């Protein structure tokens, strides 16, 4: 039997009014142990770990306990060529980026203003403006829910991919990220390959100037979740074959393509949606953002069903026009936990 007494509206950035049986804020590994393992409640009652809820869509009320990860702490060690950071999973991501720059440590500036906590970053292998987390991540510390075992995964063991990691698959729902390690090289090199950053001079630009430029871009294009409910980029940028890419290049030469190391070609999901003329499309209280098509928003009255129906229409239109199937980047949460988002919108 479930007792949905606690509203999750303030705990996820989509701001949809769903409920959980209980909400607990965990500020230490010991608190997590108490809540997850002591009475083995995780075996009978579903438990969901949240940071800032910036990349989730609740499909319905949650039939269990939600743990808000607020394990804090930042430790910095200097080596000959690098700065090594050990950061608690509950630290705010953007504040971490700004703190490193305030201390003169470059390397994270391209990931400015990505919402969420540090512990969520490796799960999703966050990335922006041609920098991905795996390029600066040294390790991920986790605790397993079954027995409290502490394990450190190095970068290779994390199996990082495009918006993907081992934590989404082999260890899904079995662990808690408690800390992440970073390595920021002292010999800093700016990453300015993104078109809107090419005006910056790579010989003279500073990390803080790159940070400021990216903050301006993101604030101009993306809605503030504190004002308009959203989960950032709703869809992943699709990876397609070179054959399909060649065909699309002939038909749509103005849609940018990015050749990847594995031979596949990445497209901009936002550009595809925009070419389908879907900006502003509204289903109930959900809508495609008018400035950035890859963002689906809660206009204030959206239900989970509204968002799902809108995502389904967007996916269908893009598939019909480009023969490309979009996959959600946002994590879908059912009454019992994480569920297959592609299956939901198919």
User: Which residues fall within 8 angstroms of residue 39, CB to CB, at 6 or more apart?
Assistant: none
Which DSSP symbol is given to 197? G
Describe the crossing of helices 93-102 and 207-221 by its angle, rounded to 10 degrees. Answer: 150
Could you tell me whether strands 62-69 and 19-26 are parallel, antiparallel, or unpaired per DSSP bridges?
parallel
Cα 345 off chain centre by:
19
Nearest to 184 by CA among 280, 79, 269, 272: 79
Distance separating alpha carbons of residues 216 and 211, to the nearest angstrom: 9
Tokens describing residue 213: 């430029």
Q: Which residue has the tokens 């070179």?
A: 242
Q: Which residue has the tokens 């002591």?
A: 38
Other beta carbons within 10 Å of 186: 14
Phi, psi dihedrals of residue 132, rounded to the nearest 5°: -120, 155
Terminal C-alpha separation, the chain? 30
Tokens describing residue 128: 């922006």
Tokens describing residue 288: 């495609």
* Residue positions annotated with a catalytic role: 163, 233, 329
């Amino acid at each position: 039997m479930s007792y949905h007494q606690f509203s999750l509206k303030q705990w996820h950035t989509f701001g949809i009014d769903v409920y959980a049986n209980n909400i607990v804020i965990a500020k230490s590994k010991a608190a997590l142990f108490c809540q997850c393992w002591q009475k083995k409640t995780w075996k009978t009652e579903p438990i969901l770990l949240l940071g800032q809820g910036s990349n989730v869509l609740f499909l319905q009320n949650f039939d269990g306990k939600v743990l808000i990860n607020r394990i804090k702490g930042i430790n910095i060690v200097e080596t000959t060529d690098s700065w090594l950071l050990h950061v608690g999973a509950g630290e705010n991501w953007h504040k971490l980026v700004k703190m490193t720059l305030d201390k003169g440590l470059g390397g994270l500036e391209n990931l400015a203003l990505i919402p969420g906590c540090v512990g969520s970053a490796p799960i999703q292998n966050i990335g922006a403006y041609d920098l991905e987390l795996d390029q600066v991540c040294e390790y991920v510390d986790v605790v397993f829910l079954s027995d409290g075992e502490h394990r450190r995964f190095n970068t290779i063991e994390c199996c990082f991919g495009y918006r993907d990691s081992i934590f989404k698959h082999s260890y899904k729902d079995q662990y808690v990220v408690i800390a992440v390690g970073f390595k920021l090289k002292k010999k800093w090199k700016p990453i300015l390959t993104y078109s809107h950053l090419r005006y910056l001079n790579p010989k003279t630009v500073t990390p803080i100037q790159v940070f400021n430029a990216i903050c301006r871009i993101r604030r101009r294009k993306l809605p503030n979740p504190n004002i308009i409910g959203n989960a950032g980029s709703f869809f992943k940028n699709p990876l397609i074959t070179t054959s399909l890419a060649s065909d699309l290049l002939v038909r749509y030469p103005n849609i940018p393509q990015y050749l990847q190391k594995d031979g596949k070609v990445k497209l901009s999901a936002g550009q595809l949606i925009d070419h389908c003329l879907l900006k502003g499309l509204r289903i109930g209280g959900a809508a495609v953002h008018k400035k950035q098509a890859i963002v689906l928003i809660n206009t204030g009255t959206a239900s989970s069903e509204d968002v799902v129906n809108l995502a389904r229409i967007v996916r269908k239109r893009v598939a019909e026009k480009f023969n490309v199937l979009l996959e959600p980047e946002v994590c879908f949460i059912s009454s019992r936990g994480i569920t297959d988002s592609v299956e939901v919108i198919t």
